[in-house]
Chain A
Amino acid sequence: MVGPIYIIAIALGTAFSLGFFKNANRNISFSLMFLAMAFLTFISGQWLYAFLTQQQETIQIFTAGFKPPFSISLQMGFHEAVFLTMINSLGLLSAIYLFDHLREKGVNMMMVFMLLFMGLNVVVMTRDIFNLFVFLEISSIALVGLIILEKKQDAISSGFKYLIASGVISGILLIGIVATYYYSGSLYINDLISANLSLVKGGSVAVFLIMIAVILELKPFPANGWALDVYQSVNAGIGPIISGGIATASLFILYKLLPIGGDAWLLPIGITGVISFLGSNFLGIKQKSSNRILAYSSISQVGLLMIIMSLSTSLGDKFEFVFFSVLISQYLAKAGLFWIAGIINKDEIDDWNILKKSPGLIVLVGIFMFTLLGLPPFPAFYGKWELIMNLSQSGNFVWVGIILLGSLFEAIYLLRWFGKILIKQDNLEDLKIKFHKLIPVIFVSFAILLFSYLTAKWSGLIGIKYYIPFIIALLIFAFDFLPVFIKNIAAISTVAWYSYVLIYQTYIPENDILRIVFGSIFLIGAIIMLIPGFTFKGKRQGFYPLVILMFSGLAGLIEARTTFQFFFAWEIMTLASYLLIIRGKNAVKPSFNYILFSMAGAFTMFAGFGLAFAETGSISLNALADVLVYANWAYALIAIGFLVKIAAFGVHIWLPSSYAEADDDVTSMISAILIKSGVFGLIILMLSMSLKNAVSPNIPYVLGWIGAIGALIGNMMAIYQEDVKKLIAYSSIGIMGYILFALSMMSHMGWLTAFTYSIVHFLYKGLLFLAIAGVIYRTQTRNIYEMGGLIKRMPLSFISVLIGIITLAGMPPLAGFAGKWMFYNAVIMKGWYLQGAIVFFSGIVAFLYCFKLIHNIFLGPLKDNHRKLKEASIWWLIPQFILIIGIMVISVYPKIVVEPIGQYLSMYFPNDGLVWDGTTASTRLGYWDATKIMTVFAGMFGVLFIILYSMSRKTQLVEQFNIVFQGERPERPETTHYAHNMYAPYNKALGFLTAPFITSAWKFVYESIHSISDQVRKFYTGNGQTYAMHIIIYVVVFYLFINGGF
């Protein structure tokens, strides 16, 4: 194998000899440099390979033919190999990326580029502290050179700031080194470690100076203004070198020198990391410039890595996994984002929607951002999981909180940015992409995918089958050029196969009712909701992979056996649904709310799982039952995550606009199916925790009230909506309120109600949304007052909506009544009379918007411009009628569904169940015979209809204009048509109930965070002196913090 020493020889030799080519052809000199970089990469790569495959020993390389400590020695071990490979391959890719710049700027810059990486290599390898100083200087000076690659004014001034700052820092480091030499008599790092200077009086200070200098090299918040300015001003090709190369090397220096400081330094470093992570993410919120955002983000990531490093002892053998998964993913993703920023070459993130021109790049940006955010399936996810679990196990709940909060801030700015990319805008100038700039980006993205797979395997947390959906999604993505029709068939058949395997083969034999019910809602529902996809023309790029991912996430929830698998599936599902929603026309802002709330909820859930793990030490879902001490906290935290998903009162504000703006069939998917995931989660949680007495009964009580109020507010809001989709969305909030209420009763009847509601709501909500979607598809408007009289044009849709609202309103004889009836029984048995009354009132309120829905769309006068409308497309109608059949079956013969659920529940709630006698269901309070009622009703109805029809048969149909168009202006219906601002008197009486106080409260929180961040960041004055000042203050304060005085 080629000795590592040749890295130095080759790099230096090339750099020096480049001088010969000053006036020769620059392609030659470039290719020379490129070859050298490639060779460096090769050397480090082969060492890494050796360490990974054959048990290569760590080796020492001596220079000048003397053994250390008398001469300088280098070391090549596993960690060195990893870091060198990262750094050198980054160098190679950067060389490709910067090809045109370097060529244009000439040989000098190539030398500088070369030497930068040479310096970093030696910094990683050397075991002599002064030598380390020298080569650190080399790379930072080289960076000074690269900063002015393009001689822009701001680049020059920020380069000067950088010179001052790094000068001061290296001065401090130098003093430290000399003093260390004085106290230990050696410069060989191993000697310094064994000398443990911390005991000597001055020696401890010397160590302090070295450590603080290294920490300052890592640009800790707040002593990092200079670094930020550099990041912002440099050419985008240099950014990765700073964040991926220099920062990585500096991390390794810290790792290498940490033993000198000893364990006493772990805590300070951890705290520095926490401050950096939280601080820079917080200040990132307000940023507008893409490079600066990336700067804040990479500094925060370094902070995170410092935290991990400080936990090295407590993480034990997990340390390497956590550290490298986070480090490598941030290194890859940052590089990719910086490079894309360079390709776009627009500093303001508002201008990034130019990417609309090339969807491929958008996908890449997505991959990179979600990698940064540590979302599954990307590597950092596993690392963060282990980190949080470990932190909570060692009882550092504060740190957990801070880390999650910081991650939330990061999510805010990264996802807002992502949203800005997708904002629609006409007359974008088109974007010309140089191919050589594209190569590294693509390479990096593939590296991420590969590495995610490797980490997944390495973590051993999830089985390989969790990756099947991703493979399918990738396949469909690969065949994205096919027309919708084929892809739709593919998607449907995939889901069908999966549901066959999951439900029919797995759970029906196990007779696991809970999973059968929700599995069928998720997957069979998916099949039904995919059918309308056939109406769409064209390709519908990127739709189907996301759909597959979303439903696989849902299936994953069903299958999950450990909290990790559950959380994994949960995040997948959330992410995919977010991306599906954001595809809508004006969906950017709503989907941002959605993902923000979901992330916050996911993080609290995360913390809750951490708590559970801290107590039980197991990540199995069943282990939740054993949580006793932290029970209340864990329960509440986890529950919040689910409450967000079901849009419980207080965290409901994301739902209406997201539903309204999503594509029509997406809306029916998420409203009928996705929202049930929260219900499923709550059921799992309550089954495992609430049944034990560890959880105080107050929490379900509070949940009950939340549910009741949610039901009332949701329905109240619904009746005032003019946007038909919003109307149904608000009604969803109401129904979810019922379900939450029913669940929190923690009684047999209550849960039976919840299950029944979940099924029935799935049926009629899907039905309504599909029918409405069909109508919108034809009328091209969502304003309810611009429709009317459509019963003449689309009778079939009318029938669906009629059945839908009868079920929704819970009128006998249809299935909705079953829910209502059980509800009464449950409430009276439980004794929650007042909450119950509220829920019933809201149930009656529902009647108002039901009527508004059906009347304003289908009855009343037909609008002029709708005279020629056709019935909705068959692809919209088929699923509707499937659902109608479902409703009818349950209405006539509810027993088949309700009885097994009852048996299942009586395992947990043996008392006060439902007793079946033939078709009559009875509790100790009342009884109800759906079948008889249906027959009686049908008979009577038929008789009366026949009478009426026979009596007035030969009638002629009255056209609309046979009666007057009283007081209506067809062209401006909202002015006079009663359908606009329907229920005005109701609003006059009860409007105060629907004041948007929750929304404004959240708005206030959000905006205050922003303004605070805006104020805080003002201390980055942009003056180089101030930054140097910050550094010295940082040193002094840190000294005070460590020694508690001078």
Chain B
Amino acid sequence: MVKNSFIFLVLIGLAAILLNLFAGFNGSTELGTIAAHYASKGIEEVGSANLVTSVVVSYRGLDTLGEVTILFLSAAIIGFFLKVDNTDNKNRQLKYTSEILNTASQVLVPIMLLFGAYVFINGHLSPGGGFQGGAIIASGLVLMFIAQPKKEMGHKMINIVESVSGVSFVLLGVAGILFASGFLDNKILSLGKFGTLFSAGIIPIIYILVGLKVGSELTGIALSLKENQNEA
């Protein structure tokens, strides 16, 4: 317990630092210059109704590329790390899942997939976007795994989707250099009419790619974890 109390003291110290950090904090009342710029100019520059989307995909597109990469990395590592060869695949024993879950999943999974697709297609208009949509799709698939543990599902398909979407994301970025003023530039397509589905340049396309990619990657992770599942 001496150790824990010591840890407690240290954390107190850390807390003190954090309190100092926000000593000057009194809820901001105005947007910072950059934020204001996004809010006011965002429409004509990017043309996406969802400002967050315009920041995520366009202004800070490189970050997005990065986070996609991170997910990709984790998926790749986990896939390599938890790879199971058939020898220890034989003696896996899995619990029997309930009837209700099975039936419900059969109803729910398609709807979830559909909803996910909707969310990332409309990412630039309404709350949501590629990551959210991808997460929803993945959770749908996870639900399927839970419902039918025995069901085998190969990584091949997932990998293909991953790679295709990823590569085309990069290619879009390069297209930005070639046809517009910079990497990941939004204006290689016309911004279109504000507020419609086909607007805001390549944002919808990117978000679709991101959605697919995130979905497949999360699924891949879940799948690798599932394959290691063993309740013996």
Contact = CB atoms under 8 A, between A and B. Distances in A.
Interface of A: 3, 5-6, 8-9, 12-13, 15-20, 22-23, 61-66, 69-72, 105-106, 108-109, 111-112, 115, 118, 122, 126, 128, 130-131, 134-135, 137-138, 141-142, 144-145, 148, 151, 175, 179, 182-183, 185-186, 200-203, 205-206, 208-209, 1029, 1032-1033, 1035-1036, 1039-1040, 1046
5 closest A-B pairs by CB: A185-B32, A19-B163, A16-B166, A65-B185, A145-B77
A71 B37 CA distance: 11
A145 B33 CA distance: 40
A70 B35 CA distance: 9
A965 B187 CA distance: 110
B5 to A, nearest CB: 13
A1046 B170 contact: no
B28 A182 contact: yes
In this complex, which of A9, A126, A200 has the most chain B Cβ atoms within 10 angstroms of its Cβ? A9
B70 A137 contact: yes
Interface of B: 7, 10-11, 13-14, 16-18, 20-25, 28, 32-35, 37-38, 45, 58-63, 65-67, 69-70, 72-74, 76-77, 79-81, 155-156, 159-160, 162-163, 166-167, 169-171, 173-174, 176-177, 180-187
Nearest to A23: B156
B160 A20 contact: yes
Contacts of A12: 65, 69, 166, 170
A112 B34 contact: no
B21 A138 contact: no
Contact of B77 (A64, A141, A1032, A1039): A141
A70 B80 CA distance: 38
A111 B72 CA distance: 9
Contact of B173 (A9, A20, A66, A1035): A9
Contact of A134 (B10, B58, B67, B176): B67
Nearest to A1037: B13
A205 B25 CA distance: 12
Contact of B73 (A112, A203, A208): A112
Given A72-B60, A144-B77, A1032 B14 contact: yes
A72 B62 contact: yes
A416 B23 CA distance: 54
B171 A13 contact: yes
B25 A202 contact: yes
A134 B187 contact: no
A1046 B13 contact: yes
B187 A106 contact: no
B14 A186 contact: no
A111 B60 contact: no
Contact of B80 (A109, A118, A1033): A109
In this complex, which of B162, B167, B186 has the most chain A Cβ atoms within 10 angstroms of its Cβ? B167
Given A70-B38, A72-B63, A185-B32, A202 B23 contact: yes
Given A19-B159, A142-B73, A13 B14 contact: no
A13 B167 contact: yes
22 contacts: A8-B65, A12-B69, A12-B166, A13-B170, A19-B160, A63-B183, A63-B184, A64-B60, A65-B180, A70-B38, A72-B59, A108-B76, A108-B77, A111-B72, A111-B73, A118-B69, A128-B60, A131-B66, A141-B77, A148-B77, A179-B21, A205-B17
A311 to B, nearest CB: 28
Contacts of B155: 22
A203 B66 contact: no
Contacts of A1040: 13
Contact of B176 (A19, A65, A186, A208): A65
A9 B73 contact: no
Nearest to B37: A70
Contact of B183 (A5, A144, A145, A1033): A5
B43 to A, nearest CB: 14
Given A130-B60, A201-B20, A205-B20, 17 more contacts: A9-B170, A19-B160, A19-B163, A20-B159, A22-B159, A65-B180, A71-B58, A112-B73, A141-B70, A148-B81, A185-B35, A200-B24, A202-B23, A205-B21, A1032-B10, A1046-B17, A1046-B20
Nearest to B79: A108
B163 A64 contact: no
A482 B208 CA distance: 71
Contacts of A69: 34
A540 to B, nearest CB: 51
Contact of A201 (B23, B66, B76): B23
In this complex, which of B28, B58, B61, B65 has the most chain A Cβ atoms within 10 angstroms of its Cβ? B65
A138 B66 CA distance: 7
A209 B14 CA distance: 11
A203 B21 CA distance: 7
B42 to A, nearest CB: 10
Given A105-B80, A135-B66, A185-B34, A1035 B14 contact: yes
A183 B62 CA distance: 24
A137 B67 CA distance: 9
A851 B172 CA distance: 93
B69 A115 contact: yes
A1035 B17 contact: yes
Contacts of B187: 65
Contacts of A175: 18, 21
B72 to A, nearest CB: 7
A12 B184 CA distance: 13
B177 A5 contact: yes
A16 B81 contact: no
B147 to A, nearest CB: 27
Given A19-B163, A1033-B10, A108 B80 contact: yes
A1033 to B, nearest CB: 6
Contacts of A183: 24
A759 to B, nearest CB: 69
Contacts of A203: 24
B64 to A, nearest CB: 9
